[in-house]
Amino acid sequence: MSHLKFFTLAAPLALALLTTGAQAQTTPAEQIAGYVAQSGVPAQPAHGQAFFTSKHGKDWSCSTCHTAQPTVDGKHASTGKVIAPMAPAFHPQRFTDAAKTEKWFRRNCNDVVGRECSPAEKADVLSWLLSLKS
What structural domains and CATH numbers belong to the chain?
Answer: 3-131 (1.10.760.10)
- The whole-number average pLDDT for the span 70-98 is 94
pLDDT given at position 134: 80
Whether 98 shows a pLDDT value over 60: the answer reads yes
Whether 85 shows a pLDDT value over 60: the answer reads yes
**pTM recorded for the entire structure:** 0.81
> How many angstroms separate the CA atoms of 33 and 28, rounded?
9
> How many angstroms separate the CA atoms of 43 and 56, rounded?
20
> How many angstroms separate the CA atoms of 30 and 126, rounded?
11
Whether 4 shows a pLDDT value over 80: the answer reads no
**For the segment 9-57, what is each residue's pLDDT rounded down to a tens digit?**
455 445 555 554 455 689 999 999 999 999 999 999 999 999 999 998 8
- The whole-number average pLDDT for the span 57-71 is 91
